[in-house]
């Protein structure tokens, strides 16, 4: 138990937490109604974490399960158009429930519906990331689901486990909790094999670990242990801890913090270190920015690069590409992700950030390379 409490600090001490809840927890399987009482206890947990200064993001399933009942679509397999319609009807009810429950605590809810393209295409990924970061900075709790109404079979996640992992990676979360109808990973399916052993900690997702994940056991949601392992690979690869825990209790997050049994996937690095490693490892930066003396000193002090400090831009690059940053003598001093394309950089370099909107016709970031996106060499 002491061990479990120590492990639980990964949740209580995380800076940024993503919590995914499955349909089976949110929606009553017989009646197809929202488990409001349970959701209220989860909302109270989220509020407690926010008050403690943690950023929290919800990835919530349940739209299709709720909508199908409302549309009286029966319990069989839905056609694509039917699940799209069910999602449209269910999502509004789901979002409304989150809003009402968090409103009671004075916490603002923001709904974000993502499609696969929003996480896989660089430009859209950066946009979604920017919006999420802004919402968190403003104190809101984003509630995310896949945009099932427009997603088609070929271009959708279909399960929120992997979507949640991509969101965790996108926002540099240090902890992702998958609340499920099972308390974690077993060596075999515990419903079929009485000798199945529980696994509390996974340090490496080996082929043996992957082999332990059988098919999906829940009838309401789409994710099984396989999608959870796939999610764990993404999360751990981004330096994020992932916890699979049983959610069918009131205050499910408090329970984890108190040492409830769950499986932790442990990464070997932190999100910031992983991100910086990735930037430093870019084989071929798309371009280069030469900076003046003052900007070079500011970078060495851990500051961001502002347009005012850039004296020359070379190469063809898009917003989001990695560029080299050269000191006035031409030596590479840093690498970072540029917030502007080469053409826009040419227009704003040497100018004050307050002039960006007038020069470009849109209000971009104040920093041309933000310090979180930058590594000194």
Binding site for ligand GLU (CB under 6 A): 22-23, 61-65, 145-146, 148, 159-160, 221-223
Q: How far is the CB of 90 from ligand GLU (least distance, A)?
A: 6
Q: How far is the CB of 142 from ligand GLU (least distance, A)?
A: 15
Strand, helix or coil at 324? strand
Q: State the alpha helices, DSSP H only, in 52-115.
A: 63-70, 80-103
Q: How far is the CB of 3 from ligand GLU (least distance, A)?
A: 30
Q: How far is the CB of 23 from ligand GLU (least distance, A)?
A: 5
Question: Nearer to ligand GLU by C-beta: 216 or 282?
Answer: 216
Count other Cβ atoms within 10 Å, centred on residue 249.
14
* Residue among 43, 72, 52, 63 at smallest CA distance from 12: 52
d(CA 360, CA 347): 7
Torsion of CA 282, 287, 293, 296, to 10 degrees: -20
Q: How far is the CB of 284 from ligand GLU (least distance, A)?
A: 37
Tokens of 361: 């016709």
Tokens of 374: 């930058």
d(CA 356, CA 364): 7
* Residue among 159, 171, 120 at smallest CA distance from 17: 171
Strand, helix or coil at 214? coil
d(CA 162, CA 147): 14
What beta strand segments (E) does the chain contain?
16-21, 55-60, 109-114, 141-146, 175-180, 185-186, 198-199, 201-202, 241-246, 262-265, 287-291, 310-315, 322-326, 332-337, 374-376
Question: Nearer to ligand GLU by C-beta: 94 or 338?
Answer: 94
Count other Cβ atoms within 10 Å, centred on residue 102.
22
Give the helix/strand (H/E) hosting 30: none
Q: How far is the CB of 77 from ligand GLU (least distance, A)?
A: 14
Q: How far is the CB of 22 from ligand GLU (least distance, A)?
A: 6
Q: State the alpha helices, DSSP H only, in 138-288.
A: 160-170, 207-212, 225-237, 252-257, 271-280
Question: Nearer to ligand GLU by C-beta: 22 or 239?
Answer: 22
Question: Nearer to ligand GLU by C-beta: 60 or 263?
Answer: 60
Please tell me what DSSP assigns to residue 164.
Answer: H
Question: Nearer to ligand GLU by C-beta: 62 or 239?
Answer: 62
Q: How far is the CB of 323 from ligand GLU (least distance, A)?
A: 37
Who contacts 130 (Cβ-Cβ below 8 Å, separation ≥6)?
none
Q: How far is the CB of 112 from ligand GLU (least distance, A)?
A: 13
Q: How far is the CB of 117 from ligand GLU (least distance, A)?
A: 16
């Amino acid at each position: 138990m002491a061990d479990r409490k120590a492990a639980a600090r990964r949740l209580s001490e995380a800076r940024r937490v993503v919590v995914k809840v499955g349909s089976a927890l949110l929606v009553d399987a017989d009646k197809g109604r929202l488990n409001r009482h349970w959701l209220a206890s989860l909302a109270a947990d989220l509020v407690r974490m926010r008050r403690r200064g943690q950023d929290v993001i919800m990835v919530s399933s349940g739209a299709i399960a709720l909508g199908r009942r409302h549309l009286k679509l029966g319990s069989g397999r839905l056609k694509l158009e039917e699940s799209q319609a069910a999602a449209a009807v269910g999502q509004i009810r789901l979002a409304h429930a989150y809003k009402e429950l968090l409103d009671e605590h004075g916490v603002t809810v923001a709904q974000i519906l993502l499609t696969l393209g929003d996480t896989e295409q660089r430009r859209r990924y950066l946009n979604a990331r920017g919006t999420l970061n802004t919402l968190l900075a403003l104190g809101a709790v984003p509630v995310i689901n896949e945009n099932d109404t427009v997603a088609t079979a070929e271009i959708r996640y279909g399960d929120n486990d992997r979507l949640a992992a991509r969101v965790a990676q996108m926002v540099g979360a240090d902890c992702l909790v998958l609340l499920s109808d099972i308390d974690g990973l077993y060596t075999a399916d515990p419903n079929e094999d009485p000798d199945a052993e529980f696994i509390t900690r996974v340090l490496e997702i080996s082929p043996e670990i992957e082999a332990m994940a059988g098919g999906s056991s829940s009838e309401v949601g789409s994710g099984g242990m396989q999608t959870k392992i796939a999610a764990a690979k993404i999360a751990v690869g981004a330096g994020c801890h992932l916890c699979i825990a049983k959610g069918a209790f009131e205050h499910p997050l408090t329970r984890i913090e108190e040492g409830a049994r769950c499986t932790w996937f442990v990464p070997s690095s932190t999100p910031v270190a992983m991100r910086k490693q990735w930037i430093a490892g870019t084989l071929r930066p798309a371009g280069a920015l030469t900076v003046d003396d003052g900007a070079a000193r500011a970078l060495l002090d851990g500051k961001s690069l502002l347009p005012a400090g850039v004296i020359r831009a070379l190469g063809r690059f898009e917003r989001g590409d990695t560029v080299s940053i050269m000191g006035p003598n031409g030596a590479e001093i840093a690498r970072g992700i540029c917030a502007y394309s080469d053409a826009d950089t040419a227009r704003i370099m040497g100018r004050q950030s307050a002039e960006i909107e007038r020069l470009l016709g849109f209000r971009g970031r104040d920093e041309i390379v933000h310090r979180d996106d930058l590594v000194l060499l």
